[in-house]
Amino acid sequence: MPKSRFWKLLIVEIIAVMCVALYFLVDAHDVYKWWVGDTRFVKAPSSCNLHQSSCSVSLKNNTLVEFDINPKPIPLMKPLHFRAVIKDIHLPYIELTLFATNMNMGLHTFKLYAKEGGVYEGEGMLPTCVVGNMIWQANLIINTPSESLGAVFTFQTDK
């Protein structure tokens, strides 16, 4: 029959294993980032004007991404509809982060959920600023099981 010391050590080992397992389950996003590396971004051409039409960019793996924001011109403090079309990648959602590049207006993160035909859609809103003429950067982040890809779109808003 095992002694009480054996049972104490066994309980300590079980608790240690559970703590390590809990760390990996809770911090799975960091483990994923470590596994796939940094997001590889591609910037949309400077001729892209989201106030007039959608913009397209080819990612590092040659996947074409088309991004659009409605209504046009892009208003502040009004509901916005974000739409991305990615034909060759099938995920439940992709991430969209928006932030102003010339003033701290906060980081705004949205999920664009998959619809049929490679379309991802979501809703959101941009804050207003009394200074006006804000330059915004929209980053689409596509986290596949093997890599993290991104597309960068820049646009300016008035007051």
Angle, nearest 10°, between helix axes 28-36 and 4-26? Answer: 60
Give the mean pLDDT of 131-153.
87
Q: Output 39 or 68, whichever has higher pLDDT.
A: 68
Looking at the fold, whether 94 and 115 belong to one and the same domain comes out as yes
3-state secondary structure of 157: strand
pTM: 0.76
By residue range, what is the domain housing residue 82? 38-157
Contact 106, 127 (CB under 8 A): yes
Looking at the fold, whether 69 and 113 belong to one and the same domain comes out as yes
Looking at the fold, whether 66 and 132 belong to one and the same domain comes out as yes
**pLDDT of amino acid 36:** 65
Looking at the fold, whether 119 and 135 belong to one and the same domain comes out as yes
**50: pLDDT strictly greater than 70:** yes
Looking at the fold, whether 43 and 76 belong to one and the same domain comes out as yes
Looking at the fold, whether 58 and 133 belong to one and the same domain comes out as yes
pLDDT band at 88 (very low <50, low <70, confident <90, very high): confident
**pLDDT of amino acid 122:** 95
Number of domains comprising the chain:
2
Per DSSP (E only), the strands in 14-102 are: 40-43, 55-58, 64-70, 80-86, 93-100
